Structure 1
Amino acid sequence: MEAMLSSSPMLVLTDTSDGGVGQHPANQSGAGEYGSIDLHNIFRSMTKYTTLATSPKEAALGAQLAIKHAMSGRPGPACLLMRSASIGGEVDLESPPFIHDTAGYLNTAKPQAAPADIEKAVEILSQSRRPVIVAGNGVHMAGAHGALQQLAEQWNAPMATSYKGKSAIAETHPLSVGMVGIYGQEAANRAVGDADTVVIVGAKLSPQDTVRERPTVFNPRGQRIIQIDIDDRNAGWTFPVELGLIGDAGSILGQLIEASAEASGSTARNRSEWAGALPNRKQDAGFYEDAGLHTDSSPVLPQRVVRLLQETMPAETVYALDAGNNRTWMAHLFQSQQAHTFFCPGGTAGMGWGLPASVGLQVAYPGRQVVCVTGDGGYMMTVNALSTAMQYNLPIVCVVFNDGALGMVRHHQAPGQYIASEFAETDNAAVARGFGCFGVQVADSRNLADALRDARASGLPAVVDVLIDRGPSPDDWRADLRTAGET
């Protein structure tokens, strides 16, 4: 479900648990015996494509088509269900099934926008005085980070991102205004709200991104909106748009860059005041600033954990977040230093996502440090991923925000009425050492930097269990948004 809502390509292979000693034959199945659940309809509700294989040939061909559907258009999960005969059956070597190369199913051109629509987009941008670009997860999926930065620089347009689009551009770039939305930077909310033209690239614009459609952030009545998306349903879904460009984000950004090379220069004077004021606007909005970032204490302030991660980990570090307050602090205060280094759950935003995601990311990026940031609740939900990390020698670093609670739940319960939201005192580092991992618990922020360095130097999967202050809440700055007009 997370993959479906987050547009993540995934191949799901599973058996139907049929034909064993614990199952009725097909004509009697469904009375509640083991394996009698209707898997086909379950998976069909949360995948782009689900097919059933009844023979080895159908299993091979079904896997190829599942890969095609997972990768094409808007990416997502595809499922191959396999009956026991397709797994245990034999292929006749005298007349094997004719199977094509899987690559042939994927050789499709990236869809582009119509030339007339590209010309219209350039015309709108040429007439703008205060353009802003908002990038979403579609930029990550298309690998369009370089093209996005080039277009922003070409038009001297401030760059914001959605939550799922965070790190679509390095947030240290002069044109970056950070993440927009409820959990975002005020600099981004102000820049988008003051823009006369908004170019949305691969972002669905959730209520979180739009501050629940607050008109002082996105306002289609006072702004010209261009929306680029691989899925024609998304363009103009949350807000009406003046122009929807349907296709691959990378392809369309390339079209815009080529078509606007002359126009962006000849009309640059129109946007000079807007671009020139950006540094002061960011400073006035407290861009990536919070007193807690610089405050040492015991227990540790969550803001301080974010800053020390920023200071001790290499710029190219890849981060996997979990759900809960930990991801909110990171999304709000961590300033990504390179593009495509920030991965987070955003479909169902289920707890326990971060640790197994970091294992997968370490496989994908073997030469880079991968850091999981999780709460103690999410950590325990998938702590078995540490066993996998040990088995495959994957030196991830997992930083646990340990407040002995489901922090986000607890913050929304009345004092003295904390129900099912607090834990017994747990040493999560000791749990990690039980798997053979490096583990250290930190109670004072003055010891955290050394602990993070030791975790990296260990060469093992490592857990840094940070005892954090329960007091600070992301609601402290979300309240500013509510008083400013959030409904």
Structure 2
Amino acid sequence: MSTSITKSPYTTLTNIGISQLVMKYLQLEGVNTIFGIPGATFVDLLNLLMVNRATMRYVVCKQETGAGYMADGYHRVSGNLGVVLVTSGPGATNALTGAMNAQAGRTSMLVITGEQKESQFGIDDEQEGVDLDLDVVQVYKSAVGYSTIINAAGDFPVLFQQALRNARAIPEAVSHVSIPHDMMATVLPSVTFPTSTSLYRRAFDSASPADVKAVADRLFAAKRPLILLGNGTRDALDAPGLATFQAFVERFGIPVGTTSDGKALFPESHALALRSCGYPPCQWPGLYFAPPAGSPYAAPYDCLLVLGSSMGDFATNLFSTPMVPAGPFIQVDADQKVIGRSMPITMGVIAEARAFLDGLTSYAATVTPEAASMADRLAYLAWVKKTHSAYANPAARESDASPIRPERAMAIVSEMLPPGSHVFPDAGNSCGWTSTYLALDPPTRIHSALDVGAMGYGTAAVVGGKLAAPNATCISIGGDGSFLMHGNEVSTARQYGAGAIWMVWNENDLNMVAQGMAAYFPDPADPNVWNDYYQLGNPDLVKVAEGLGAEAYLVHSPDDLRSALGKAIKGGQQGRPQVIVVQQDPSAMPPFVYAPPVAPPTKPKVK
């Protein structure tokens, strides 16, 4: 009788330091790039990074917030874990904004912060973040998904695995681990180490068949349904997933819109595309929600299926009442905390996006579309697109005026970007221009960060995106205010051969703020009082960019932009940072609504 011996999926490591275990876990997770700024609290790990520099790149940034944004951009483009490594005290707090922004955007990120030796806690050691006025762990705990400190070396495997488990969960999140200097240097005599990530984490990847059928039956029974895709469907709508989903909506004639964060997950040139329904929206969704008087084929909008969106203000066009259908309002998300939080849904489903879409398209194959209602809505959608522009100001998008209109600039970017590009809009007016005037199709993707709206995000995140996809065109679109916050990371791009492109509106102003204040508080005696109140000192951004190591261009007209963008795309592919400074029409305003904030639509009371 023979006995088979099953090989253990674990290995035993002897006499291994905590810093070595950090490296081994990151390698197990497939990490090959870390962003941060070195510090004295983790010198053992810094030495290992130098020794392993051929396989583990430590990208030294110019400021820790930028490191967080870069790790965010890196994850968004690659899908891999974004990692930030910074020191204690101000290093940790500087990185917090990037971590908070990533948490809001469902980015998978691990922030490792060093800390002073435990033997020096509470004695006012420099940059201590534990026992005195600053508690770094609690600060992060209030802002991200998980935060802990390694107080005992033997606890490291359990706590570090938990951090990775939370960061790679569905929905993805940010984890923070603080490791004191003496813990980092501690050597463990023996550690049981996993040989696969599946031994300590497994992502949620299911959808109830009963829920799928219930949603599908409601969707197929509607006369004028809409599917709204949020940022949470990004992974599910890879090339094979999108092809299957597109065939499904084409067979049933169901229009598709996206949230602002989900823009261009569905091809915006497609006949069924309503483009962005978020804030500020494309012009078509409003006409679908509420057909104008006398319009043909005027069946009521009677079903909304929302996939992978928390339905915050930007996702729902400021909690738009017209978005609420006269029928089933269904929200599907992997995060139970967001179901029904913001809008008056009639059905909530907890499901992972890919599993749900796989179930929906499989079930749909057994159903015959209702021909009459499908023909009616397709005819109405065709009428809407034939008689109404997608743009609030179509003339400006076609204008050849100089200085260039931002709307025209977005048309040129839409035409010239190579397929598979990555666009990183920054905060402010740039969100409005990109959301409404860019027209993009997959595989090009746009990576907004609207839940927090942090200025400087796109300026730094584009570097991480380019390092993740060196062969793709990666472009940031933002104002000079955002660029002046984190434009110093252009030199980081130069240092690491990342040929990112920055398109910067040269306004010498925080223009969104100035335009908003002029709308909220107009001065009849001095209508231009807000025009120069937030000026930025009129820096020469071309010289700034060149001083940071970029090739820079100043453009005034559409022809200038075409020439500069063509050169920038070529130069970026050769690993050289590119900055296009756009002297645009300062009077141009994106279609933001400057009105007092409104409450979300009232939820029905339960009797």
Amino acid at match of 2:265: A
Decide whether aligned partners of structure 1 residues 41 and 155 sit closer, same or farther in structure 2, where only a CA change above 3 A counts: same
| 2:106 partner amino acid | S
1:189 aligns with 2:189: no
Partner of 2:537: 424
CA contact (8 A) 2:261 2:315 kept: no
2:259 counterpart of 1:153 = no
1:472 has 2:575 as partner: no
Paired residues, number: 472
The aligned runs of 1:77-92 (5 Å cut-off) are 77-89=174-186, 91-92=187-188
| Alpha-carbon distance, 1:232 to partner | 1.6
Q: Which residue of 1 aligns with 2:208?
A: 114
Aligned-pair identity in percent equals 23
- For residues 268 and 67 of structure 1, what CA distance do their matches in structure 2 show? 49
**In the alignment, is residue 133 of structure 1 matched against residue 227 of structure 2?**
yes
13, 19, 26: which one aligns with 2:121: 26
User: How far 1:107 sits from its partner (Å)?
Assistant: 5.3
> 1:5 and 2:104 equivalent?
yes
What CA deviation, in whole Å up to 9, does each residue of 1:77-129 have, x standing for no partner? Answer: 0011111112233x25xx33222235124652643232222221222122111
The answer to whether the aligner puts 1:455 opposite 2:455 as a matched pair is no
Q: How far off is 1:418 after superposition?
A: 4.9
CA 1:448 to 1:33, structure 2 compared with 1: closer, same or farther past 3 Å?
closer
2:284–2:390 contact (8 Å) kept in structure 1: yes
Distance 1:453 1:481 in 2: 42
Distance 2:566 2:155 in 1: 50
Indicate whether 1:162 and 2:259 are aligned.
yes
When residues 286 and 51 of structure 1 are mapped into structure 2, their CA distance, relative to the original with a 3 A threshold, is: same
1:291 is paired with a residue whose SS is: helix
Determine the C-alpha separation between the residues in 2 that align with 1:105 and 1:424. Answer: 55
Q: 1:320 maps to what in 2?
A: 424
In 2, Cα distance between equivalents of 1:295 and 1:224: 42
* Separation (CA, whole Å) in 2 of partners of 1:25 and 1:88: 15
Separation (CA, whole Å) in 2 of partners of 1:105 and 1:467: 55
Which of these residues, 132, 135, 150, is aligned with residue 53 of structure 1?
150
Q: Distance in 2 between matches of 1:200 and 1:55?
A: 45
CA contact (8 A) 1:121 1:226 kept: yes
Does residue 244 of the first structure (1) align with residue 339 of the second (2)? no
Residue of structure 1 equivalent to 2:275: 178
Residue pairs, 1:16-415, within 5 angstroms: 16-18=115-117, 25-28=120-123, 35=129, 36=132, 37-54=134-151, 58-59=155-156, 61-89=158-186, 91-92=187-188, 95-101=189-195, 103-105=197-199, 108=202, 110-143=204-237, 146=242, 147-193=244-290, 194-219=300-325, 222-263=326-367, 265-288=368-391, 290-339=394-443, 341-414=445-518, 415=528
* Amino acid in structure 2 at the alignment position of 1:217: M
Distance change in 2, residues 1:369/1:212 (3 Å): closer
Once the two structures are superposed, residues 137-187 of structure 1 have per-residue CA deviations (whole angstroms, 9 ceiling, x without a partner) of: 111144465154344224211000011111121111221111013301120
Cα offset for 1:52? 1.1
TM-score by length of 2: 0.73
Moved beyond 6 Å, runs of 4+: 479-482
Take 1:479 and 1:411, find their aligned partners in 2: how far apart are those partners? 9
Match of 2:263, SS state, is coil
Q: Counterparts of 1:59 and 1:382 in 2: how far apart (Å)? A: 34
Quick one: distance in 2 between partners of 1:150 and 1:363?
A: 33
Distance change (3 Å), C-alpha of 1:187 and 1:104:
same
Q: Deviations over 1:412-451 (max 9, x none)?
A: 2342145751122222122111122211111233211001
Distance 1:53 1:204 in 2: 33
Secondary structure of the residue aligned to 1:244 is strand
Q: Is the 8 A contact 1:158 1:191 kept in 2?
A: no
Structure 2 residue runs of 5 or longer lacking an equivalent are: 1-99, 291-299, 519-527, 603-607
Q: What is the CA–CA distance in structure 1 between the aligned matches of 2:247 and 2:310, rounded to whole Å?
A: 22
**CA displacement at 1:73 relative to structure 2:** 2.4
C-alpha displacement of 1:393: 0.7
Structure 1 CA distance for aligned equivalents of residues 277 and 338 of structure 2: 18
Deviation at 1:328, TM superposition (A): 1.0
SS at structure 2 position matched to 1:348? coil
Match of 2:114 among 9, 15, 23: 15
Q: Distance in 1 between matches of 2:461 and 2:359?
A: 34
Opposite residue 43 of structure 1, the aligned amino acid is Y
> Contact 2:312–2:451 (CA<8 Å) still a contact in 1?
no
Change (3 A) 1:79 1:143: farther
Q: Which residue of 2 aligns with 1:445?
A: 558
* Separation (CA, whole Å) in 2 of partners of 1:17 and 1:280: 66
- Equivalent pair of 1:54/1:85 in contact (CA under 8 Å): no
**Partner Cα separation in structure 1 for residue 504 and residue 413 of structure 2:** 12
Comparing 148-157 and 354-363, the one that deviates more: 148-157
Aligned partner of residue 331 in structure 2, secondary structure? strand
The alignment's C-alpha RMSD in Å is 2.6
Shift of 1:260: 1.6
Shift of 1:203: 1.2
Instruction: Report if aligned partners of 1:397, 1:455 keep a CA contact under 8 Å in 2.
Output: yes
For residue 385 of structure 2, what is the amino acid of its counterpart? K
Deviation string 1:42-100 (CA, Å, 9 cap, x unpaired) is: 000111111211355644553332121011122110011111112233x25xx332222
CA-CA distance at 1:259 after TM superposition: 1.0
Secondary structure of 2:423's aligned partner: strand
Q: How far apart, CA to CA, are the structure 2 residues paired with 1:17 and 1:426? A: 40
Using the alignment, how far apart are the partners of 1:340 and 1:315 within structure 2?
Answer: 5
**Could you tell me how far 1:387 is from its partner in structure 2?**
1.4
Structure 2 counterpart of 1:318, one-letter code: H
What does the per-residue CA deviation read over 1:358-416, in whole Å, with 9 as the maximum and x for residues that have no partner? 11111222221111111100011011211111111111111101111111011123421
Residue type of the alignment partner of 1:14: T
Is the alpha carbon distance of 1:457 and 1:266 closer, same or farther for their aligned partners in structure 2, counting shifts above 3 Å? closer
